[in-house]
Amino acid sequence: MLLAIALASACATPAAWAGQAPTSSSDYIPGGRIPLLQGDIAIDGELDDAAWDGALVQEIAYDIQPGDNTPAPVKTTVRIGYTRDALYLSFHALDPDPGAIRAHLRDRDTAFSDDWVGVFMDTFNDQRRGYELIVNPLGVQSDLINNATTGNEDASWDGLWSSAGKITAEGYDVEMRIPFSTLRFRSGNEDKRWGISLFRNYPRDKRHQLTSHKVPRESNCFLCEWAKYDGMAGAQQGRNIEVVPTLTMSKSEHRDAASTPWQSGDSSVEAGVDVSWAPSPAMTLNATLNPDFSQVETDQLQLDINNSFALFYEEKRPFFLEGADYFTSQFNVLYTRQIADPDFGLRTTGRTQSGAYGAIVARDATTLLLVPGVLGSRFERLDQDADVAVGRYRHDINENASIGVIGTFRRGDDYANNVAGVDARWHKDAHTASAQFLHSQSEYPANIVDAYARELGDDATPSGNAWRMQYSFGNRNWSFDTWHMDIDPGFRADLGFMGQVGYDKSLVGGGHSWYRDGEAFNRINVYADFDITHRFDGQLLERELEGQVSVQGPMQSSITLHGMTRSRFWRGQMFDERYTDINANFRPNGLLQLGAYFNVGTMLDLAAEKTGRRTMIELWGNANIGRGVAMDWDITRQQMRRDGGTAFDTIVVNAGGSWQFTPRQRMRLTLQGSRVERDPALYAFAVNEKARDWAAQMVYSYKINPRTAVYAGGSYGAFMDDDNPDMFGNTRSVFVKLSYGWQP
């Protein structure tokens, strides 16, 4: 039913509100009128085209962080205009010391620590969702979606637009051309009103955030502060059709022991095609046939030790990334990595006069389950196909309140999982309130019921509810937050990532901020909260009190001191845990960032059901060599000492480097490894005394744009454990992936 609502909304959208006037904000911040340009503009970083003379001229005049709407420390002049098919912007960014400009050749969406300029656009002028398009002084692009409902900036969206940058003797210049076919907005030939923020990032000893409009410190909705610009009458999107054929070729091999022959693994040549069509400026339809849903670069290595819950990995596949924010809600009921290997997929996303919608339909050749419990969860695979459907619709009652519905549905052979729910959000000034209610009904095959009797309670058809309510307050200096959630033991969201069920939890917390403008350490925050968790039968699972102090200072430094104490239930007993940690990072110059995390205290060894002294230290950082070479590393060591010995000692390493030859060409090397050592004498059951593994991946990419690209790479991995005392290579693979974006 929910899916039908979303699809019906999509079908009705173009006629329902085409040509209607945009909704204005009650707090109107004038920006200006964007004129129609006369003549051509070449996007080359040279601001010498005559057409710029007819553009609207604006200044990025305010320092909003660390300043309090103080005059910007550097001057930035922006020109804006449009043609029938695109929006044009130029930035003339002056700098008193051009040699200090931070600019590197990087991959897309990775230049945020550089100097950069950008335009942020709320094209529906409803203060719900905005585009953020950013360019560094060398023309490297980044683009994000700002979701005011969740407060997140999502870099997974990749638009098709042009940019160029050039460092000059007095600063740097940037030009941008943004086709209207890349954006979604209200249709009609009349004037449109958009919320727009012109932004400059100026990172030196402090990271200065500069805007074209004021942003009060007490504001907790940045998008709501964007100025209002009129214009774009007659903007046309053209045919707005894109076809992207893909071809992926891969070969893998493996072996079970050293000095044995390599065994052929998966070998495939897969062709597929993605089609995107926007029948109106506010609606997008996507279809994919035999899609290549592989990700190009490997996930960051996580070590699953002293942890009873399944690990979360971010989605990296383009089909699911674009428009993902349309499906967000307070509970994570859609985790698209659960749609593992679809034969086909259909998706629609869009906006109405008073809301937004999204729907996904797919046929999945692999059925992945996240089987949750009260104290742990893990993934399981069903050897069967499954039909998948997802629907989401949000209705904006007014500029402060919205309500929504969401549903996820999956069905296979003697298997089904259906989740449906409603949610609401209200925001005004410093106050935000939200709530969500979900109900699920499931059916599982006998082998799953037998294998997970503890989690399923021998019930092949579990059902249950999940609900959450939250209120938060935030102004210039004070913050307060309280929420309660309750999830029944029979609740299942198999297409989501909800790894714990059968509990209720309440939290109350608050904090205070001090601003010390002009001082070396310019901001201080304190925060504390208390939470308590009970099992569905009333058993106390956790009682926790924690607090922290954080400061921001010179060299873009941030230091946080945190402490926690709690009582924790595990396998029929209560255990006391307490620890202190410190987290710090800084940038001594524009080429290097260093960070460290240190944690020490009394923690529970889950496997042994005993507490001990746990220490953990993490060292991370990144460095730039010249314009195009970058390195990054993250090394974590964790140790548990108890009963007179070291129960376990682990190290995890994620490191890599890249060479960006040009804005289009890149070579990336990734290295990962882990080591686990245990003392068998400190465990009442058999454990591996030693285990090690490492892996390397190299990927070359040539990207004309996010749709047209070539990838080629290979990987190699090795491991050892008690049964294989000598490290040996056990996996290796190569792949080539081609894609071409065609716009008829």
Mean pLDDT over the full length of the chain: 90
Round the CA-based radius of gyration of the chain to a whole number and report it.
27
Q: 684-696, pLDDT tens digit by residue? A: 999 999 999 999 9
Measure the CA–CA gap between 137 and 131, rounded to whole angstroms. 20
Q: 538-553, pLDDT tens digit by residue? A: 999 999 999 999 999 9
Measure the CA–CA gap between 154 and 144, rounded to whole angstroms. 5
Q: What is the pLDDT averaged over residues 670-678?
A: 95
pLDDT for residue 25 = 38
pLDDT for residue 405 = 97
Q: Please report the DSSP string for 163-208 in residue order.
A: EEEEEETTEEEEEEEEEGGGS----SSS-EEEEEEEEEEEESSSEE
Q: In Å, what is the CA distance from 166 to each residue of 109, 116, 367?
A: 19, 12, 50
Looking only at Cα atoms, what is the longest distance across the chain?
Answer: 81
Confidence of residue 21 (pLDDT cuts 50, 70, 90): very low
Q: Choose among 143, 74, 153: nearest CA to 111.
A: 143
Confidence of residue 11 (pLDDT cuts 50, 70, 90): very low
pLDDT for residue 72 = 97
C-beta separation of 321 from 339 below 8 A? no
Share of the chain above pLDDT 90, in %: 71
Lowest mean pLDDT among 27-36, 179-188, 253-262, 388-397: 27-36
Confidence of residue 19 (pLDDT cuts 50, 70, 90): very low
pLDDT for residue 24 = 35
Q: Please report the DSSP string for 398-427 in residue order.
A: SSSEEEEEEEEEEEETTEEEEEEEEEEEEE
pLDDT for residue 157 = 84
Whether the model clears a pTM of 0.85, i.e. scores above it, the answer is yes
Q: 408-419, pLDDT tens digit by residue? A: 999 999 899 999
pLDDT for residue 370 = 86
CATH of domain 2-231: 2.60.40.1190
Domain boundaries, the chain: 2-231, 292-423+444-465
pLDDT for residue 187 = 79
Q: Choose among 91, 133, 99: nearest CA to 204.
A: 99
Measure the CA–CA gap between 571 and 589, rounded to whole angstroms. 50
C-beta separation of 698 from 667 below 8 A? yes
Q: 136-192, pLDDT tens digit by residue? A: 999 999 999 998 877 788 888 888 999 999 999 999 999 999 999 999 888 788 899
The dihedral formed by the CA atoms of 167, 172, 173 and 179, expressed in degrees to the nearest 10: 90
Q: What are phi and psi of 478, to 5 degrees?
A: -120, 150
Q: 235-248, pLDDT tens digit by residue? A: 988 778 999 999 99
Residues, the chain: 744
Q: What is the pLDDT averaged over residues 298-326?
A: 69
User: Does 204 score more than 90 pLDDT?
Assistant: yes
3-state helix, strand, coil in the chain (%, to 5): 5, 60, 35
Measure the CA–CA gap between 652 and 154, rounded to whole angstroms. 27
**What is the separation, in whole angstroms, between the first and last Cα of the chain?**
36
The dihedral formed by the CA atoms of 306, 718, 624 and 524, expressed in degrees to the nearest 10: 0
Q: In Å, what is the CA distance from 113 to each residue of 181, 534, 553, 623?
A: 29, 43, 16, 11
Q: 516-540, pLDDT tens digit by residue? A: 998 999 999 999 999 999 999 999 9
Q: In Å, what is the CA distance from 4 to each residue of 9, 324, 415, 418?
A: 8, 19, 22, 14
C-beta separation of 28 from 227 below 8 A? no
Q: 231-284, pLDDT tens digit by residue? A: 999 998 877 899 999 999 999 999 988 888 999 887 888 898 989 998 888 888
Measure the CA–CA gap between 280 and 265, rounded to whole angstroms. 46
pLDDT for residue 6 = 35
Q: How do strand 557-570 and strand 573-589 relate by DSSP bridges?
A: antiparallel
pLDDT for residue 455 = 66
Measure the CA–CA gap between 242 and 239, rounded to whole angstroms. 9
DSSP state of 218: T
pLDDT for residue 302 = 62
Confidence of residue 380 (pLDDT cuts 50, 70, 90): confident
